[in-house]
């Protein structure tokens, strides 16, 4: 088994969990996880799996919309993935699709920042 793949997936899992935690802190009226670390970790794991399996298929199917909007439709796709996780995993509560889009934007920003920091440290 490829250890690089496992390492990258574990990093993505931690980043997704951290992003959900920050999104819940910023959007505290719209995103709720019952202040439970277990809920954050499980939701982060589900989000990492959804992003690894379902998201590429959705991106491929919505490629015309992504190209037409010059990539802005990716914000909607990220929100859709977060909303899907909230529907699959009940302890993570997101009140609306718009809250999921905002949470997806925050998670994406956290993902970008952490990835940039890790790439700088690897050099």
pLDDT tens digits for range 40-63: 999 999 999 999 999 999 999 999
Quick one: how far is CA 84 from the chain centroid? 10
How confident is the prediction for the chain on average, in pLDDT?
93
Q: Give the C-alpha separation, 42 to 36, whole Å.
A: 10
pLDDT in tens, 68-86: 999 999 999 999 999 999 9
Q: Is the pTM of this model over 0.85?
A: yes
Backbone angles phi, psi at 95, to 5 degrees: -70, -35
pLDDT at 8 over 90: no
Q: Return the axis-axis angle of helices 3-26 and 37-61, rounded to nearest 10°.
A: 110
Mapped onto helix, strand or coil, the DSSP state of residue 31 is: strand
- Sketch the domain layout of the chain as residue ranges: 3-122
């Amino acid at each position: 088994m490829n250890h690089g793949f496992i390492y990258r997936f574990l990093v993505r899992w931690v980043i997704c969990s951290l992003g959900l935690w920050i999104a819940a802190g910023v959007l505290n009226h719209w995103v709720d996880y019952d202040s439970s670390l277990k809920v954050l970790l499980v939701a982060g794991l589900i989000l990492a799996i959804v992003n690894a399996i379902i998201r590429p298929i959705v991106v491929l199917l919505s490629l015309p919309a992504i190209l037409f909007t010059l990539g802005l439709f990716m914000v909607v796709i990220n929100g859709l993935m977060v909303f899907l996780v909230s529907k699959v995993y009940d302890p993570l509560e997101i009140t609306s699709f718009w809250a999921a889009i905002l949470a997806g934007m925050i998670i994406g920003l956290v993902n970008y920042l952490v990835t940039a920091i890790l790439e700088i440290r690897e050099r």
